[in-house]
Structure 1
């Protein structure tokens, strides 16, 4: 099986569609026996086209279940805001204005009645299949010797006992850990200039929303390599 693991998209619909075209061309050329495309979360916020990204992913997953979408902390923040406008810190503080704008909604936070009104408008603007996609996203998946999640795992805790919060949010304890895990952890969440390959983890978040560089780790048999877009800001 060939595996593709795609880092944080953050509203860069142009990068996502370009990378998917690159992947489709490879699959058509090489005809692997089977494949999976694993998206590691953070589809919304910061970039300009969160709506288009979610729509693309929903259609891709409906067309072929081998497209897998994992939940990121920004996606979780959007879900929490849609459920309760007073649970808005993550969404408002980390790019929610851009996400709302992609749905044609101006997010207003003050006074409180304006927050409630813009929340109502966003609820009406988000299609039901976007809600369903976000609600149904798992937080991790595993294939062979690799464990995929958005942020990372808690050292010392079994892979099947990881908390929902850590899978979407953990950073320093995970990044600083030097020992091997039961599997190699493939993650995003922490932006870096180049993909990071460590003995115990691989980070593919190359800050696409600011760089135009969306990266995928490609794995098949013993081969590991990276492919990236180069679209600029």
Structure 2
């Protein structure tokens, strides 16, 4: 196991930048935060094995796994991802944030104006993963689609998704799906900011109350900007799913990726500097 982990180590960013803003996770704790999965159950299952290997290699700790939201839509197995997330939460310390795609999914059962963009932005794949008839779904109008959803998607799955959190604070870190409205206390942040925001959050250069760990905005590689860390590497289209590991004042990354042959491999690296804006 240790040799497996050691083989994964060794990638950093090339260009030095300003000093990293220091932040701490409480002593004795270890946090793994996973970016937007979007139905890529295969990548997440592979990443979970890498996380478990990393956790074992670094000694005993109180370990928390945080999923940053957007478990569903776009990829092929949202239903499987939801079911695995519920199983994991019953077995270990797993906390899950609701993303904008979970928000659209839940609202689509009642609101036809939400269902239309939901279907355009990966919702159709979600419905198919829950076993809805593809022929019936193709022939259905919006109202009929809602009837198919009500009949085909278990209430327990909807209730589980509705239980996802809006934000999580551990030590000096704040975990949210999309980001925060700068210069606004956490207590005053609106759900729409936490699940949907891009600007002015992404380009904000100053420190926040916490270092913000988020997904939502796809980048080719994980971005550690000092005041925020973005880890949505577009799993559904890039084949790369990324996790941030936080322990004490250290940060490192784990990633599973699928190559053109379909094989899934893993990589781990410790950043030397955060990427400059």
The normalised TM-score by structure 1 is 0.93
Superposition deviation, residue 92 in structure 1: 1.8
Of stretches 31-40 and 48-57 in structure 1, the one that deviates more from structure 2 is 31-40
1 or 2 for the larger relative contact order (CA 8 Å, sep ≥6)? 2
Deviations 1:166-187 (A, max 9, x none): 0000001100111110110000
Partner of 1:192: 219
Write the distance in 1 (CA, Å) between the matches of 2:187 and 2:247.
Answer: 24
1:83 aligned counterpart, secondary structure: coil
Partner of 1:70: 97
Partner of 2:44: 16
| 1:6 and 2:34 aligned | yes
Partner of 1:171: 198
Write the distance in 1 (CA, Å) between the matches of 2:77 and 2:142.
Answer: 22
Shift of the 127–108 alpha-carbon distance from structure 1 to 2, 3 Å rule, reads closer
Mapped contact 1:103–1:122 kept (Cα < 8 A): no
| 1:217 and 2:244 aligned | yes
Write the distance in 2 (CA, Å) between the matches of 1:109 and 1:161.
Answer: 42
Alignment of 1:10-159 (within 5 A): 10-64=38-92, 66-105=93-132, 106=134, 108=137, 114-159=141-186
Mapped contact 1:4–1:217 kept (Cα < 8 A): yes
Partner of 2:258: 231
Shift of the 109–139 alpha-carbon distance from structure 1 to 2, 3 Å rule, reads farther
The normalised TM-score by structure 2 is 0.79
Write the distance in 1 (CA, Å) between the matches of 2:60 and 2:150.
Answer: 41
Superposition deviation, residue 28 in structure 1: 2.9
Shift of the 85–32 alpha-carbon distance from structure 1 to 2, 3 Å rule, reads farther
Deviations 1:82-130 (A, max 9, x none): 23344324312211111111112237487xx632222222222222331
How many residues were matched structurally? 230
Write the distance in 2 (CA, Å) between the matches of 1:109 and 1:96.
Answer: 13
Point out 4+ residue stretches in structure 1 off by more than 6 angstroms.
none
Match of 2:207 among 168, 180, 192: 180
Deviations 1:114-150 (A, max 9, x none): 3222222222222233112111111110000000000
Superposition deviation, residue 231 in structure 1: 1.6
The structure that has the greater radius of gyration is 2
